[in-house]
Amino acid sequence: MPLKPGLTGHVELSVTDADTALAARSGDVPVLSTPRIVALVEEAAVTAVAGQLDQGQTSVGMRVQLDHLTPIAVGATVTADAKLDRIEGRRLVFTVSVNDDRGLVAAGKVQRVVVERDRFMEKCT
């Protein structure tokens, strides 16, 4: 596995009504939802290791630790960044953050596990 600590991923999101707590059913306010932030930092982590795994491998989510600090309105743009901090066997540990033009929106850690795609999918049946 050619993975090395220091790999980074970056993604951007223009917040729409579909990204809100109302849409996710995780609250009753029309602001960027925590579940959507989780998906965004996972996407950044996946982007960080894209093209770095052996053929037939993928990574799957295992743990997310996240502090959601600031509400974000529809129409705003946020960016998510992930940095691969360390590799513990098959476990990949990322530091993640989400920012807007005013500063930090969310921060935490994401852990993903490298798996053989076919073997992993066999567990679903």
We report the CATH number of the domain holding residue 37 as 3.10.129.10
Q: 44, 60, 71: which is closest to 112 by C-alpha?
A: 60
Tell me which H or E stretch contains 41.
helix 34-49
- Does residue 3 form part of some domain? no
- pTM score of the predicted model: 0.94
Q: 99, 94, 88: which is closest to 110 by C-alpha?
A: 94
Q: Would you give per-residue pLDDT tens digits along the chain (125 residues)? A: 579 999 999 999 999 999 999 999 999 999 999 999 999 999 999 999 999 999 999 999 999 999 999 999 999 999 999 999 999 999 999 999 999 999 999 999 999 999 999 999 999 87
- Does residue 1 form part of some domain? no
State which residues form the domain around 23.
8-122
Q: 52, 49, 12, 51: which is closest to 32 by C-alpha?
A: 12
Q: Classify strands 91-100 and 57-68 as parallel, antiparallel or unpaired.
A: unpaired
Tokens 């490298």: give the residue: 114
